[in-house]
Amino acid sequence: MSEEKKTNYDVIVIGAGPGGMTAAMYASRADLSVLMLDRGIYGGNLNNTAEIENYTGFKSVQGPDLAKQMYEGATQFGADYAYGAVEKVELIGDEKQVTTDMGETFTAKALVIATGSGQRKLGVPGESEFSGRGISYCAVCDGAFFKGKNLIVVGGGDSAVEEGAFLTQLAAKVTVLVRSDKLRAQPIVQDKAFKNPKMEFVYNTSVTEIVGNEMAVTGVKTVNNQTGETGEIAADGVFIYVGTFPMTEPFKDLGILNEKGWVETDEKMATKVPGIFAVGDVRNTVLRQVATAVGDGAIAGQQVYKYLEG
């Protein structure tokens, strides 16, 4: 007779990125029963990051490698891990009931939301049509398909510039299209990129359409935001990094989101609903980095224990 699957926990952590895994580690180390739920592989956006140079203790570390180490730390004290995209969260008395797209239902006394953020789309003609046929939102995932090719990166922040630099290891040339007159990336990131002979920056430029043939992307149509001049740039692939949005759809009825959809918490990572906490990129916060997510997770893991003890 097979063992019945466990469905009731002290705490459920929704999302297994750096913040969620840290919260799970702290909570399970306090001898709480913990379930980590994630719609994909553990690590979250770490798996889409080639190289991390600003995480304390590492001169440089590959995102997927750090994700593996964090996962091993998160599960060493007995935390369970399961696949499943959360579709609904309901409050039943003091318990929180979580339903996944797999039709599974789990309950817990406390909840930690660590669902992170997703990549925004440009919303221009051709983006949906050529998704997976030359359009990507993840250089680490798809860069190997473009060896020796000419690529376009859309965006001017840290992600756009860092992932553009990563792509130069594979591509013949990377052209970065920036809608304003300067980059938003950190100075150290900019300095490295400007020294890269394979990178070119085009400012005050927006993409109006992504074009291609029956097989794949062939380029983008552009407009100069100052002069109104239109143009077209040939490319074999387009990588888009134009910001993020909160992954909070399952929590919209809980009264814990602000007008833009980010989760509001206090300094203890607690939301307005007793027993529901949030950590990492999903929070309304001034900085979204691995280091801040880990810090959030440590606080939440401890506060969950204090909440349950109280």
- Do the Cβ atoms of 199 and 193 come closer than 8 Å? yes
Average pLDDT over every residue of 185-214? 97
Residue type (1 letter), 27? A
Q: Which two tokens stand for residue 69?
A: 């180490």
Q: What are phi and psi of 255, to 5 degrees?
A: 75, 30
Whole-number pLDDT of residue 3: 58
Q: Which two tokens stand for residue 295?
A: 């810090």
181 has pLDDT over 70: yes
pLDDT tens digits for 249-283? 999 999 999 999 999 999 999 999 999 999 999 99
pLDDT tens digits for 2-34? 456 789 999 999 999 999 999 999 999 999 999
Closest CA to 158 of 192, 127, 124, 131: 192
Rounded to whole angstroms, the Cα distance separating 295 from 145 reads 36
Mean of all residue pLDDT scores within the chain: 94
pLDDT tier, 1 (very low <50, low <70, confident <90, very high otherwise): very low
- Do the Cβ atoms of 169 and 162 come closer than 8 Å? no
Burial 279-297 (b: 16+ CB within 10 A, else e): bbbbbebeebbbebbbbbb
What is the strand order of the sheet 237-240 is part of?
A: 135-136, 237-240, 150-154, 173-177, 199-202
pLDDT tens digits for 50-92? 788 888 999 989 999 999 999 999 999 999 999 999 999 999 9
- Using a pLDDT cut of 90, give the percent of the chain over it: 86
Rounded to whole angstroms, the Cα distance separating 82 from 102 reads 11
As annotated, the active-site residues are: 138, 141-142
Burial class (CB in 10 A: 0-12, 13-18, 19+), 77: middle
- Residue count of the chain: 310
Q: How many CA atoms lie within 13 A of 235 on its CB side?
A: 28
Rounded to whole angstroms, the Cα distance separating 182 from 248 reads 31
pLDDT tens digits for 116-169? 998 899 999 999 999 889 999 988 888 999 999 999 999 999 999 999 999 999
